[in-house]
Structure 1
């Protein structure tokens, strides 16, 4: 099975770049997962944007700590089986953190969104929470893909090693910087610390330079604005064995919008 994973989509530049890539290549994939927590002007996602994503052959939208930035999405989260919030938020919050969706081949694919705790809000343990839900999901499907939205590389590697052989792929999101450490662990789980960002490369992790640097210089609150220009698509092209659920191959995608348009 061929799976496309797309790194954090940031604002309208990210949505435009994502759309351009999908128009050319979406039919080549059996399953598509996109992190959409920054899709609405860099902070959160709206129901309209989520619906637009699903209309573009995207199967599941994962998220992270910014999923709560648009209050209108709370009801949508409760009603949707394909827009996920991190599974390890406390009981009683809107939405769900995992789902099982059929691929275009008719094969059940489990997707989990989970959030780290190092340099992040102190929510429930990602290790124990993920282990418990994966144990339940494995009764229904062999292919399980995890978006680990976390800051620390060490925490991401640790969770990947902890879940090796129990899931197909664990990939990191949140830092918006694609790492070059993609690998397949000894028990067959594909891993990368961070898949990167889909958005403008003309700023600082998708945000305008002039709205970010003053915060570092003064430590005062700033209103962040989306960067524009030099759009880039970051993702993963993954091959998963349908019988065993093990990752067979994983390639990084790092393309400018200009490169995509010429392909």
Structure 2
């Protein structure tokens, strides 16, 4: 199975890059299943129902969220009617929506998609991500009902993402980090057969400060004073993420490749076949 994960979509630039490139990539790379983290797609903070539909219509099979899951208030109701949008497993127990879902690829093979929030350096304490993930993976053993399993680890600390990767090794096809908007260079297949990348990076304009127009963040760093709101940068976006191929029998990764398409960071991705 050929799986693509794309990192945090950042504002209009990221949405335009998804709409303009994902249909082509699905065709050129013969992708079976695509997951996109969309939690910053709406003005850099959260995701509206309208923008979620745009990402899904562009070719995403599932959209994951994060700590900004419900910054856009209409997501509180939209997520109840759209099972292809996944919020974190360990968010507030009263939160609407689901933290995991079992979906079919275009050939009918089952793919489990789930997401957890980390605890280290996050603004508020979320429930233990490891016990939450363990419960889901115990219910859905890799290679059983789920022929592939994709885990989005949305957290600040690289160490916590790596720990989750090893915790899931052999039990998931892919574990990929999101949240920092900065892509890492450690794509690998872990010893147990799980494809891993500490952070997918963002789908946004990299001539920025983590996707925001440079002026206001730099002013605050230099002077310690705010003058205005953060606004997403509007230059050409780079699609950043991770591509893996899996063995259909075991669900384990057979190869991984970092994806950098367009914009300032374009450099890699699977060859067209």
TM-score w.r.t. length of structure 1: 0.94
Counterparts in 2 of 1:140-155, with a 5 A limit? 140-155=145-160
Partner of 1:247: 253
3-state SS of paired residue (1:250): strand
Q: Does 1:136 align with 2:136?
A: no
Measured in 2, the distance between the counterparts of 1:230 and 1:20 equals: 11
Measured in 2, the distance between the counterparts of 1:219 and 1:91 equals: 37
Unaligned runs of 5+ in 1: none
Q: Does 1:217 align with 2:222?
A: yes
Partner of 1:19: 19
Q: How far is 1:220 from its partner?
A: 4.3
Q: Does 1:196 align with 2:201?
A: yes
Measured in 1, the distance between the counterparts of 2:241 and 2:133 equals: 23
Q: How far is 1:25 from its partner?
A: 1.6
Partner of 1:127: 130
1:235 to 233, 241, 247: 241
Deviation string 1:41-98 (CA, Å, 9 cap, x unpaired) is 1111111111112112210001111111101110111222110111111311111111
3-state SS of paired residue (2:258): strand
Measured in 2, the distance between the counterparts of 1:15 and 1:224 equals: 18
Counterparts in 2 of 1:149-168, with a 5 A limit? 149-168=154-173
Counterparts in 2 of 1:1-263, with a 5 A limit? 1-27=1-27, 28-120=30-122, 121-138=124-141, 140-220=145-225, 222-257=228-263
Deviation string 1:221-252 (CA, Å, 9 cap, x unpaired) is 55101112242111211101111010111100
CA RMSD between the two structures: 1.7
Q: How far is 1:11 from its partner?
A: 0.6
